[in-house]
Each structure stands twice: as structure tokens, then as C-alpha cells.
């Protein structure tokens, strides 16, 4: 008696391949949606900080961080670095970790004013603002800013304030630049640079390399 052969038929193999294709397509589409949501979240950071500044300024006639009547306005504290007075400049580096700097106190002031969510305890581990990838995000006045060239005549940025967000992969940095500006990392109001290496920006960021993305306004 002839033994019956076992194994997959061509139809069964085709069905399996179709199922695998559908699963892979779903995974890739899901990852694409996750990446898109991440970029939208990062773009919102840049837009929201501008709203915080203008909202606070409209209500208290002072800049958050630079407000030396913060105790009366929002129950906050003042920056204490020498020479930091209320002069319409948010002094200190965007990524400062010093409670003495106006750029650091910025977050306490806008949170106490109800404009932003987050800890108002300047000593808390969660006080520093983070982007969707965990990089630090902050703001300062263009005056004193060094991460990106600030001389327009040399291809640098211009404006009153600059918002920076660190640790952003190149593939996201390019999407951010396209969403917020001209899509080129070394021109316009958005610049993509290697943190710690001041320049006018990287025209075409490498997808897998983390960058500092800064927006001047």
C-alpha cells in the first residue's frame, strides 16, 4: 500500500506567505504611525513654548524666567545669577540645570501660571522638560546663544528667542524641519546641529545620528 506524503501544498504555502505579508505590513504601518505621532509631539513642544512666552507676557507684562516679581505673580521664585535682572532677556543656557538661571526658572513660572504641566519643584528629578525621546528641551534669548551661529550675515539664525530640543534622531529632525520650516537643516528658522559643535547647521542629517534641533523666533 502506498504511503500518503505529508507536507504543505502550494496553496497552503501561498496562504502562509500572504498572512506573513499582512502581518509585516501591519507592523511597518504601526511603526510609521508611532514615528509620525512622535514628530507631531516634538513639533508641539516648539509651538507650545512660544504660546507659554506670549501668554505669560500678555498676563504679567514680563517674560517667564525673567520675571523678578514671580512671587507676586505666580508664587514662584526669582533667578539668582549675578547680573540677571528683569531686562526682557531670558538669560542662561537653554539646557541649564542651575536654579540660579532664568532659563531654568522659566519652567517653574509657566507651570505655576497654569500654562504648562509639570513639576514646579526646581529640585525634583522630573523638573527638567523632556521631549518624546527623553532629550532635554529648553528656551533662552538669542542674546548669548552659542549652539548655532547667530550672525545672519554668516548664514546664522536670527530672532529674539531660541528653543532647543536635544537627542533627536536625524530622521525625525528632517521631518521636524519640514513641518516647522524649510526642510533644510542649515537654513531658515530651524537648525539641526551636533550638540557641542556650534555651526550654521547640518543640511542633510543622518537618519540614525542624534542631533540638537533649534528654532529661533
55 and 123 housed in the same domain: yes
Q: Which of 129, 149, 182 is the last residue of a domain?
A: 129
Instruction: Report how many domains make up the chain.
Output: 2
pLDDT attached to residue 154: 87
Q: Which of 78, 97, 129 is the last residue of a domain?
A: 129
Cell match 539664525: residue?
A: 157
Query: Of the candidates 46, 163, 41, 55, which has an alpha carbon nearest to the alpha carbon of residue 110?
Result: 55
pLDDT attached to residue 96: 97
| pTM tops 0.75, yes or no | yes
Q: What is the domain range of residue 196? A: 135-217
pLDDT attached to residue 30: 62
Q: Which residues pair with 193 in a beta bridge?
A: 212
174/204 Cα distance (integer angstroms): 8
115 and 190 housed in the same domain: no
172 and 200 housed in the same domain: yes
Q: Does a structural domain hold residue 118? A: yes
Q: Which of 85, 100, 129 is the last residue of a domain?
A: 129
Q: Does a structural domain hold residue 107? A: yes
Q: Does a structural domain hold residue 112? A: yes
**C-alpha dihedral, 140 to 170 to 115 to 97, nearest 10°:** -50
In this structure, are residues 205 and 174 in contact, taking their beta carbons and an 8 Å threshold? Answer: yes
200/11 Cα distance (integer angstroms): 59
pLDDT attached to residue 58: 97
202/191 Cα distance (integer angstroms): 7
- Give pLDDT < 50 ranges for the chain: none
Q: What are 161's three cell numbers?
A: 528667542
Amino acid at each position: 500500500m502506498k504511503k500518503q506524503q505529508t507536507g504543505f501544498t502550494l496553496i497552503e504555502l501561498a496562504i502562509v506567505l500572504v498572512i506573513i505579508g499582512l502581518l509585516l505590513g501591519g507592523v511597518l504601518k504601526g511603526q510609521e504611525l508611532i514615528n509620525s505621532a512622535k514628530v507631531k509631539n516634538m513639533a508641539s513642544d516648539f509651538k507650545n513654548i512660544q504660546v507659554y512666552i506670549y501668554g505669560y507676557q500678555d498676563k504679567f507684562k514680563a517674560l517667564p524666567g525673567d520675571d523678578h516679581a514671580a512671587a507676586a505673580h505666580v508664587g514662584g521664585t526669582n533667578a539668582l545669577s549675578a547680573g540677571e535682572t528683569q531686562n526682557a532677556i531670558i538669560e542662561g543656557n537653554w539646557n541649564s540645570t542651575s536654579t540660579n538661571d532664568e532659563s531654568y526658572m522659566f519652567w517653574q513660572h509657566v507651570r505655576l501660571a497654569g500654562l504648562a504641566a509639570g513639576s514646579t519643584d526646581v529640585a525634583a528629578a522630573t523638573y527638567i522638560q523632556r521631549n518624546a525621546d527623553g532629550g532635554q528641551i529648553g528656551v533662552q534669548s538669542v542674546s548669548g546663544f552659542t549652539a548655532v551661529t547667530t550672525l545672519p550675515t554668516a548664514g546664522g539664525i536670527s530672532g529674539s528667542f531660541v528653543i532647543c530640543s536635544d537627542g533627536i534622531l536625524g530622521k525625525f529632525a528632517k521631518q521636524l524641519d519640514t513641518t516647522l520650516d524649510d526642510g533644510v537643516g542649515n537654513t531658515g528658522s530651524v537648525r539641526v546641529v551636533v550638540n557641542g559643535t556650534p555651526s550654521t547647521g547640518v543640511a542633510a542629517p543622518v537618519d540614525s545620528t542624534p542631533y540638537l534641533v533649534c528654532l529661533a523666533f
